[in-house]
Amino acid sequence: MNPVKVGICGLGTVGGGTFNVLQRNAEEIARRAGRGIEVAQIAMRTPKPQFQTTGIAITNDVFEVATNPEIDIVIELMGGYTVARELVLKAIEHGKHVVTANKALIAVHGNEIFAKAREKGVIVAFEAAVAGGIPVIKAIREGLSANRINWVAGIINGTGNFILTEMREKGRTFEDVLVEAQALGYAEADPTFDVEGIDAAHKLTILASIAFGIPLQFDKAYTEGITKLTTADVNYAEALGYRIKHLGVARRTDAGIELRVHPTLIPADRLIANVNGVFNAVMVNGDAVGSTLYYGAGAVVQGRADGVAVDHHRV
């Protein structure tokens, strides 16, 4: 059987990690998928000599991938709203399936994208858009499909969790830890999306849509960041037996679905209160199963998912 041919758009941290995994684990992936997965084309802005791309078509035009008749699946890993949206819609228009890790794109333009995909009879897959290496979307959509979901709550931005962990464990200031997070690559030069809760709100919007069967409504999510938290706040919480975590919460209420992202006091003995560093965790409560917890690396892009050799950029 002929292999499935994919085109990768964006060979940065996540795109490069995806490419490496597809190459390194090609035999195992083919065994599980029933067909080989072949990277046939890559679109990137600048050459990346650290990747072995011999024999693969290279372009700097992402739309060339979207319209290439040889490509079956377009993998969008560029990020952003504008070009990514145009690329995904173009790929769908040309009958391509799409895989994306772009939570901002799905949260803001997902309704339009999914409608177009239904019209064209193609699939848009986005598991990695929320909590990176944790298959929480699949868990809610399939594993908990018989449950009426009551609420979802999670630490879904590793950058913010890293900052709060360092403030609590080492008594450091927010500003001091943020500088280190940027140096380590956990936070962007402009960290607004991470520290103001926008990134978490994107992810929460997606989780809520799946959990409750509602349209994507990012503009209705209450969003509060962690920039105003001080070391004193963290220490007082600890003294009272609590830890401050930056949570995304989606809850079913009599008035409708509640969407909110904000710092939250959690009893120190709770499992989710002990999720530290750049790790993510999502709790899902269903009427049949009760509460379940999904924990792991927010982004598994280069190494092992054991917290030792994982490149945690952009969690």
Question: Which residues are catalytically annotated?
Answer: 203
Answer yes or no: are the C-beta atoms of 261 and 157 closer than 8 Å: no
Backbone angles phi, psi at 277, to 5 degrees: 65, -140
The DSSP-derived string for 101-124 is --HHHHHHHHHHHHHHHHHHT--E
Cα(63)–Cα(205) distance, integer angstroms = 28
The DSSP-derived string for 37-48 is EEEEEEE-SS--
Residue 248: name the closest of 213, 209, 299 by CA.
209
Q: Work out the number of other CB atoms within 10 angstroms of the CB of residue 306.
A: 10
The DSSP-derived string for 6-71 is EEEE--SHHHHHHHHHHHHTHHHHHHHHSS-EEEEEEE-SS--TTS--TTSEEES-HHHHHH-TT-
